[in-house]
Amino acid sequence: MTTDKDLSMDGQSAMAMFAAKGIDVTPNKDQGVVKVVKRQGVDGERPMMGDRVTVHYTGKLLNGKKFDSSLDRKEPFSFNLGKGQVIKAWDISVLSMQKGEVCTLLCKPEYAYGSAGNPGKIPPNSSLLFEMELLSFEGEVLTDDGGIIRRIKVKGDGYTNPNDGATVDVHLEGSCGGRLFDSRDVRFTVGEAEDKGVPLGVDRAMEKMQKGECCILHLKPKYGFGREGKPEYKVGPNKDLVYEVTLKDFQRAKESWEMDLNEKLELASGVKHKGNQYFKAGRFHQAIIQYQRIVSWLEMECGVGMEQQKRIQDFLLISQLNLALCFLRLKEFSHVVENCNKVIELDGKNEKALYRRGEARLLRNEFSLAMADFQQVLQVNSSNRAARAQISICQRKIREHHEQDKKIYANMFQKFAEYDAKVSQFYYANDTNYYINQDALIT
């Protein structure tokens, strides 16, 4: 990055430089943010809306007084573009930069701190000078595991997003390894995109998109076509995918608070059936979406009369048990335990919940807890042969674990004993020499 002297000019000189060399980077070309490139960046992509960008910067008033600098702190500054986390001038100007680029910005008050200023640092209605270097940028991570990364090409309108159950109209273009394999307009229900050959990652991204938005989604295999691939698209197993998606229109599904209990119970039957279909097809992530919808609708409902209360409880028990089974297949054992616990809160002697929790705990190497679960299964149903077999496995695992501990501790104690022996021998030898020397001195 260039030095502070590049910004140490009076207001008149700054205006002259920007008038001669500056580029207006504002969308409506009102000269609100003017940029002068001092060092070209690396040719290639530029940041997009929503990207996480990292910059170094120095900010000054037009009189040359510095009010902030990441360089002085020796720490770059990161923010998400277009999210209102920084002044408007930064959101606009960084979109025009390339990685490694260094530029100087002249920002009018309405694109900076406006009539309020920043008390103690920036007077009201101040134009500002910034020198900025774009160090890096990366797409917005939409999932905890980093499996879906979004880069927004065109920002959408409004503040609402599709929800699970919403009907969406999209244009999508899917590619793998640079080869376009899918290009079409398609309508699907959020949570059921699989039915139209649209991968899970596109489906899950819908809840983050706005009408009119065009984005690029980078999908890991888990959110693409997984281990099976997609033969009709000539996409092999475990392939990363890139989708360009435009959300043309959508109709939101009713939220839980917009429905009465009878409507929820009526919808729950169809949603449960859909979840079961996905489960039987091995589409566990899609099945989870359906069962979670039922839980979100009914977990806070009480019902009127015994019959309605029983229907609510039955739907919740079935949904939580099926969620536990889905997570068991996906090896997400903490979720299995969580869902089984919710079933056991409703029905303390639920055989399936106790058994599935035991399975999850066994696979987490929590052998004693797993054995306790399987023993409770036998208390509920003494003829459950599978639970008896699992108890035998737990007992064997506990014995193996104890034997392993014994070996570890035996080896540890043996090493300690050998070390102590060496230390004792060392001190004995030194003590002997000492006493010999003492005798010599006396003599």
d(CA 337, CA 343): 10
d(CA 443, CA 441): 5
Q: Answer yes or no: 130 catalytic.
A: yes
Q: CA–CA distance from 138 to each of 42, 103, 128, 146, 239 (Å)?
A: 15, 20, 27, 12, 21
- Kindly give the pairing relationship between strand 102-107 and strand 77-80: unpaired
Point out the catalytic residue in the list 24, 67, 79, 195. Answer: 67
Point out the catalytic residue in the list 51, 92, 111, 113. Answer: 113
According to the 3-state scheme, what is the secondary structure of the chain? CCCHHHHCCCHHHHHHHHHHHCEECCCCCCCCEEEEEEECCCCCCCCCECCEEEEEEEEEECCCCEEEEHHHHCCCEEEECCCCCCCHHHHHHHCCCCCCCEEEEEECHHHCCCCCCECCCECCCCCEEEEEEEEEEECEECCCCCCEEEEEEECCECCCCCCCCCEEEEEEEEEECCEEEEEEEEEEECCCHHHHCCCHHHHHHHHHCCECCEEEEEECHHHCCCCCCEHHHCECCCCCEEEEEEEEEEECCCCHHHCCHHHHHHHHHHHHHHHHHHHHCCCHHHHHHHHHHHHHHHCCCCCCHHHHHHHHHHHHHHHHHHHHHHHHHCCCHHHHHHHHHHHHHHCCCCHHHHHHHHHHHHHCCCHHHHHHHHHHHHHHCCCCHHHHHHHHHHHHHHHHHHHHHHHHHHHHHHHHHHHHHHHHHHHHHHHHHHHHHHHHHHC
Point out the catalytic residue in the list 6, 68, 169, 347. Answer: 68
Q: Answer yes or no: 188 catalytic.
A: no
Point out the catalytic residue in the list 18, 57, 137, 279. Answer: 57
Point out the catalytic residue in the list 18, 111, 130, 291. Answer: 130
Q: Answer yes or no: 416 catalytic.
A: no
Q: Answer yes or no: 67 catalytic.
A: yes
Point out the catalytic residue in the list 18, 87, 91, 111. Answer: 87
Place of tokens 């599709």: 162
Residue 135's φ and ψ, nearest 5 degrees, are: -85, -45
d(CA 169, CA 250): 6
Active site residues: 57, 67-68, 87, 113, 130
